[in-house]
Chains A and B, each alone.
Chain A
Amino acid sequence: MPLFSRESALGLHPLSRMQQTRAHVYHLFENTFFKTFLPGLLIKKKYAAFLRLRQGDRSALQLISKLEEIQQRSLPCDYEHIKRLCSQLDDQVHNLVESLTTYNPIRYALLHNYHRKYAFYMRLALLEDQPSVDPPYTLSLDTPQSEELVGGKAATLSRLHASKDLPVPEGFSITTRAFHLYLKKNRLREMIAERLAELGPDNLEAVHQISPEIQDRIYEGELPKELIASVEANLESHGFKGSSLALRSSAVGEDLQASFAGQFTSLIDIPSHNWPEAFRQILASKYSPHALLYRIGQGMSEGMTPMAVIVMPFIRSRVSGILYTRGQEAPWSASLFMVSGTGEDLAGGSGFEASATFDRSSGALSVSGKASLLDETLIREIFDLGDSLDRLFGQGQDVEWVVDDGGKIHIVQSRPLRFSSKASQRQAQHGREAELFTGQWVSSGQASGPVFRLAPSQSPAAVPHGAVLVTEELPPALTLALPKVTAIVAERGSPACHLASVAREAGIPVLCNAPQARDLQPGQYISLDSDQGQVLEGIHFPSQDSAPDPFRRRSTLLSQRLESALTSVSPLHLRDPDSDDFSIKACRSLHDIVRFVHESGVREMFSLVGRRGLDALGAKRFLTGLPLVMHVLDVHKGLSSESRSAKSVNTEHLRSKPMRHLLAGLGSPAVEWDPAILHYDWDAYSKSSASFVNVEKSTMFSSYAILAEEYLHALLRFGYHFVVVDTVLCPEAEQNYIHFSFKGGGGDTEQRTYRVQLITHILEHFQYAIHRASDLVEASFDRCSQEDTAQNLHVLGIVLGKTVLLDMRLQDEAQVHALASTIITKIHDLLPVQDRA
């Protein structure tokens, strides 16, 4: 009894019992009292919800598309940006569900629980560990420490310390806990997250504004007392007080997962009492533009890379340098580069004064450059130390060393040696000369195959295996063709449609907005490189190569998290609105909820006005110039502003785009109205006792239209026929639809069936999807371009005028076919309709 208990297997009911009762009563009141006495108000309210719903639908699909694109193309962006997109999606879906519950708070209440469930899973998948601000704030490096607490560089140094025979300077670490404490005490965490969230894939250059804002706040921050006390105690116990220090960055991830070489600041020759400034400066270096971009490029988050600082005595060096314990091509060959002094220039990219190579297998040493810089014994000693480090870590090392004035060697840093990987194998082996044209990315991949053109009227089942499908748009129906095609190119379309999501899920490369695809010849061999946006002549990616490359995706923790989050976002299970599974309980992702809300909203609008029609309040008489009785209710910019106080309006006042197109069809010369016959609801009129009513002015038997600039809901009563048209016409194809239903009232069953057959034949020719039940026909034309939708509204107007006014008795099916062909030909003559068959 979910209606009476607060909680059930479906979770907590979104409405309390009191709220449910109140909502129920109000809903009934609204839909009886308002519908009877103030229908205009109710319709305006529902239309406002519908507008919000359409906007929400568009935004939600765009957000889903952005997230999928980041994942599929491994686009660089800050993790905070991904979290922000997910949070925005959560809000959009919440608003969508709210808008839908405006129509019926009880029917759709449970959708809140499904939204909460999948939005929660999404957030849980992205969740990072809560940083701890508890001590220790400092740790001595003479015992092995964890990277989590002291960062990569210090963790390595503490390991070197533990191996007693290595000459490593003693020192301590100001831990990552101290970093977290510093951010928390100065209320910087939220501010930093907020700013980093701006670093989306298209906005990485904003790093130059964001970086100084964050750095300034760090410089201005106050040092927590407990941190000062801890550092001062360590300076004392290590005997560093009053001496000169070296402070080095040691971020988590630095050196071990990625090199971060040169990304962060290290400072030398710092008087011990100046440590606070040096500490702040190193913390701030985490937010330099290049360090931020490097971290993002490595697929790491802010939260994964907290900063620790190493405090060591400053060693006055006579010579300093870098040692590579292995060569890229010759692992037995170690090499050494050196300069006199502190070695900052060497690390900073300037040249070296001398170099040496050591062949570990033969023991041969060769020195070049300024040989007097360091004598051979010391050079051999450094190579020996390198060998120990190489063996200790079991891999090649990149070692920073110094030789002090007394000729003693010190190792100040050792990190895993990295060689630049060879250029990605995937880089296409095609030049620009093969490019036919370009398009917009929809789904990643590379594939080749013969062109197959699918006309909008053709079933996707007709697509042969292995083809590159070329279409005008990307309607959801193409999902059926996905298992067979190697790639899709569309003349129009967008990356934010349902098909785009499904294609990405299936790993099929897709490009859209490629008008030149029109010129492709059936059977012509072409290739797609969708990340490059290219369509190429010929076969560049034979089928064995076009299989998704498992190494292509950068498999970082963050991309795994995003992938996991997307399992609650992307998959579309609700595909067929007519199936029984198209229900709240079948929603398994936020995408499903978005789809469900949109379809349900459209259905709610379609059933906006019942058979009895709308009361006169707010409606104006509409003089169409045709022999029909009609009233209109403007809900949003459907009529010009001058008509506001007018009791009747004409076509010149009309601003509603869909109404103009429908009316153009109704008024087409093909229709041939008989001016002597006035059309209103004859059936209702004859059954009513209102024979004194002026049928031209009264709303009782009139047709109605609810108008907005991009929306039309028309209820047309032509003689004995009853027609509903509900349509959106706007620049975005994804939003457009025409839903139409016709119930033939006049004549016997046979006549009504023939009439329905006639309408079906004609509308099918113009690519409407048709559902028929006895004498009821429902047709829809969904998610097509503004031009095509406008044209099909015009066609619908002609068909309505033509078939409704049909006074001829239809004898048999052959005659229905013949008449359908005649009407189709006539429409083609009158319209610049391209014959797509």
Chain B
Amino acid sequence: MSTILVLDDVMDAGIMIKRILERKGHSVNVFTEEQDALDHVGSHGVDIAILDIKLKKISGVEVLKEIKKSSPQTEIIMLTGYPTLETAREALSLGAREYLVKPIDKAELESKIQAILQDRESS
């Protein structure tokens, strides 16, 4: 079991991810506001953060930078409906583990999370 944070400006998407991952026994918190999500990471710490790129105020890549600064051990998955090679390159170079594209695929999401958790266990 691990703690997972989801940040997406569309509640819909967050709820769907929450449902998928809670069924796998993870504890999931969903946010639509960037600051709320960053505060949560600061006060609780999370194992994995799943970040949308198009958010309300700042970009998901900015949030990625902030999280990596305050909580470097948190693994990041970017999940976007607006994929570009530039943001992918940037996010991956800033330490994101995955760059996933919507539509969200349940099996894809589950397997990526599992791979991250396995890596953590073995390290």
Whether A113 contacts B102 by the Cβ 8 Å rule is: yes
Interchain CB contact under 8 A, B12 and A9: yes
Query: Nearest CB to that of A113 among chain B residues?
Result: B103
Interface of chain A, main secondary structure: mixed
When A and B form their complex, what is the total count of cross-chain residue pairs whose Cβ atoms lie within 8 Å?
Answer: 52
Is A11 at the interface (CB under 8 A from chain B)?
yes
Say yes or no: B82 contacts A12, CB within 8 Å. yes
Residues of B68-123 whose CB lies within 8 A of A: 81-83, 85, 88-89, 99, 101-105
Say whether B81 contacts A7, CB under 8 Å: yes
Partner of A9, one of B88, B99, B101, B103: B103
In-complex Cβ contact of B101 among A8, A121, A585 (8 A)? A121
Q: Is the CB of A124 within 8 A of B99?
A: yes
With A7-B10, A8-B12, A9-B13 already in contact, the answer to whether A124 and B103 are too (CB < 8 A) is no
Q: B104 — which chain A residues lie within 8 A by C-beta?
A: 9-10
Interfacial chain A residues near B102, Cβ < 8 Å: 9-12, 113, 117
Which residues of chain B have C-beta atoms less than 8 A from A585's C-beta? 103
Q: Report the nearest A residue to B82, measured CB to CB.
A: A12
A711 at the interface (CB under 8 A from B): no
- Give CA–CA (A5, B10) in the complex, Å: 10
- The 21 sampled A-B contact pairs (Cβ below 8 Å) are A5-B10, A7-B12, A8-B10, A8-B13, A9-B12, A9-B17, A10-B102, A11-B81, A11-B101, A11-B102, A12-B81, A12-B82, A110-B103, A113-B81, A117-B101, A117-B102, A120-B83, A124-B88, A127-B85, A130-B89, A588-B105
**Are the C-beta atoms of B85 and A117 separated by less than 8 Å?**
no
| A116 contacts B10, C-beta separation under 8 Å | no
Extra A-B contacts (5), CB below 8 Å, given A9-B13, A124-B83? A7-B81, A9-B10, A10-B103, A110-B103, A588-B105
Give the residue name and chain of the B residue nearest to A6 (CB).
Answer: B10
Within 8 Å CB of A5, what residues of B?
A: 10, 12
B10-A127 in contact (CB<8A): no
Question: Known interface pairs A5-B12, A9-B12. Does A116 touch B101 (Cβ–Cβ under 8 Å)?
Answer: yes
A380 contacts the other chain (Cβ, under 8 Å)? no
User: A642 vs B113: C-alpha distance in the bound complex, in angstroms?
Assistant: 67
Bitwise interface map of A from 120 to 140 toward B, beta carbon under 8 Å scored 1, else 0 = 110110010010000000000
The verdict on B58 contacting chain A, using a C-beta distance below 8 Å, is no
Minimum distance in angstroms from A229 CB to a CB of chain B? 30
Binary contact track B6-26/A, C-beta < 8 Å → 1, others 0: 000010110011000000000
Contact B85 A11, beta carbon cutoff 8 Å = no
Interface size on A, residues (CB 8 A): 20
A114 interfacial by beta-carbon distance below 8 Å: yes
Instruction: Note all chain A residues with C-beta closer than 8 A to B16.
Output: 9
Give bound CA distance, A386 to B81, whole Å.
Answer: 58
CA distance A12 to B101 in the complex (A): 11
- Report how far A9 CA is from B100 CA in the complex, Å: 12
Residues of B close to A10: CB separation below 8 A: 102-104
Residue of A nearest to B108 (CB): A588
**What string of 1s and 0s marks CB contacts (under 8 Å) between B41-65 and chain A?**
0000000000000000000000000
Report the separation of the CA atoms of residues A113 and B104 in the bound assembly, to the nearest whole angstrom. 11
Which of B17, B89, B101: most chain A CB closer than 10 A? Answer: B101
The 5 closest A-B pairs by CB, nearest first: A11-B102, A11-B81, A10-B103, A9-B16, A117-B101
Contacts of B99 in A (CB 8 A): 124
Contacting residues, chain A, for B17 (C-beta < 8 A): 9
The reply to whether A127 and B103 form a contact with Cβ atoms under 8 Å apart is no
List of A residues within 8 angstroms of B105 by Cβ: 588
Chain B hits for A117, CB < 8 A: 83, 101-103
Closest residue to A118 on the B side, CB-wise?
B101
Contacts of A127 in B (CB 8 A): 85, 88-89
